[in-house]
Structure 1
């Protein structure tokens, strides 16, 4: 017997719909909400990754889409791993990564330790310190390019003042020096992202219960001993988390360095992300750059996995 309009209306009333929904298990309802998001993430993330892996085994060039594509196997990977120029960019990236993390952790923890102690103007100082990380990297890059400018840059006048005029401001340049350009980008990234590390360390310091320090005072433990035996171990997971976040971000650093040096002078500050962009969108070696991207992805993913395991062990202590 065919369904009448009255039957369809009765089947779709709010009460009948609610009854059918109540008939579903909590797991089924959860999957009904989560499935569209999972499918979207797979479409956005997994498909491009699989496509990149496929291209990495070919000689495909995006500017010549109609040319026949040749399967080259592992040739792209072999060329990357044996190219001294690419290893030089890896070295430049490692230099940038190590020193930015070192300075940001040391200075960020020091600032957090200072701000954690209540004093007049504490809130104002915290706001001023956090301001740099709220700016766009493009704005920060242009701002520091002006500061580093050889003739009128304030940074160079500060150098002249500190050296008593022995180094002329007009002749001192950070961004144009092979020796100083890598340190110039380290200074800028440290200035911009140290507040991020400071906030994470500050959260760690304020999570330590006061009674721990009170018990240490009763046992007559010195401030130095309290710092190394209580404060550092309890804040260490937060410090390691900050290093993880900043390490991943700095490994793929691009915009700030492009604004400051463009990878120069020469290839002194040519990081892997900039070299990857040149291979993909200037030389149009799409298959080669895809293999390069896969190697970087595996490197970051592998190091991050090892680091997360170490972080979990520290948290379990």
Structure 2
């Protein structure tokens, strides 16, 4: 009985079979890769090039019949000289630094504890991972309810610390506390993601290394600093990269919790971009804003990946 390859060869028309035999391995490889390249160009590259083109014009989506004027780099100049842009970047940096710091510290601690085999280990792992399985809309509504006056537990605690009246106090309504309200929610939701990456790193460490360290009478503290942390560091850095990119684009959770207010303390760059594009309909200006954010994220991520590769090569 002929094998599948022989049946396929027999079913192939002679003319087509002759043409295929004349193709090199490199050409056949390109034929397989070509659909993926075409899809990548259509989905990623073309929209990027079109956005760059729009960023050099004064195009407005709500006025499609108006003449489109070529303004060059004027949109970029206005954005980079606008104080509101730098205020949004400062608010975004504050959000990024605190969320990543808290998520890495708490996530790595949870991964370290779960990596130690104990009773009901799997149950606790499942419970900890549950928040990241929820959609941001559900999480936003849930935490908005918790932050409401006379209901939210956090409101009573913070009101007690600040001396405010719990009956009318709400964290998301306070200019100074609204950013921390968002940081708490994002940390609650995405710390499990960081924990899973760190847990994968901890479980990739060969047990024989710890056995050799115990033979050398190394303490648990020394094993942590000389074995556990250095070998898990690439995974930690990878978690920081993923969460940094995602939080730089944070939009849905912030809008769900605060609507982009109060004031400029929660006016992240993504919120600013959304208002320019879909409230003011300044499409060309918003496109320039998007290009600036893309270059910023891409540049920082490229530098960070180089540092990550150096750590992995040690």
Q: What range describes the TM-score normalised by the shorter chain of this pair?
A: over 0.9
Note if contact 1:182-1:268 (Cα within 8 Å) is conserved in structure 2. Answer: yes
Q: Per-residue displacement from partner, 1:258-315 (whole Å, max 9, x unpaired)?
A: 0001111122201100110100111011111111110000000000000000000000
Q: Distance in 1 between matches of 2:105 and 2:21?
A: 55
Which residue of the other structure, out of 242, 246, 249, is the alignment partner of 1:245? 242
Q: Distance in 2 between matches of 1:301 and 1:191?
A: 27
Q: Per-residue displacement from partner, 1:176-223 (whole Å, max 9, x unpaired)?
A: 011110000000000000000000000000000111111111111111
Q: Distance in 2 between matches of 1:23 and 1:221?
A: 64
Is 1:211 aligned to 2:198, yes or no?
A: no
Structure 1 window deviating more from structure 2 (170-179 vs 243-252): it is: 170-179
Give 1:29 deviation, angstroms.
2.4
Note if contact 1:213-1:226 (Cα within 8 Å) is conserved in structure 2. Answer: yes
Alignment of 1:52-71 (within 5 A): 52-71=51-70
Q: Distance in 1 between matches of 2:136 and 2:51?
A: 28
Give 1:19 deviation, angstroms.
5.8
Give 1:159 deviation, angstroms.
5.1
Give 1:165 deviation, angstroms.
11
Is 1:25 aligned to 2:38, yes or no?
A: no
Q: Distance in 2 between matches of 1:159 and 1:246?
A: 27
Is 1:264 aligned to 2:261, yes or no?
A: yes
Tell me the number of residue pairs that the alignment of Structure 1 and Structure 2 aligns. Answer: 305
Is 1:223 aligned to 2:216, yes or no?
A: no
TM-score, normalising length from structure 1?
0.91
C-alpha RMSD of matched pairs (Å): 1.9
Which residue of the other structure, out of 178, 184, 188, is the alignment partner of 1:181? 178
Alignment of 1:293-304 (within 5 A): 293-304=290-301
Give 1:31 deviation, angstroms.
1.6
Alignment of 1:113-152 (within 5 A): 113-152=112-151
- The unaligned stretches of length 5 or more in structure 2 are 1-9
- The unaligned stretches of length 5 or more in structure 1 are 1-11
Which residue of the other structure, out of 12, 15, 27, is the alignment partner of 1:14? 12
Aligned partner of residue 273 in structure 1, secondary structure: helix
Partner of 1:36: 35
Q: Distance in 2 between matches of 1:14 and 1:69?
A: 54
Note if contact 1:262-1:270 (Cα within 8 Å) is conserved in structure 2. Answer: no
Q: Per-residue displacement from partner, 1:54-104 (whole Å, max 9, x unpaired)?
A: 111111111111111222121111111111111101111000000000000
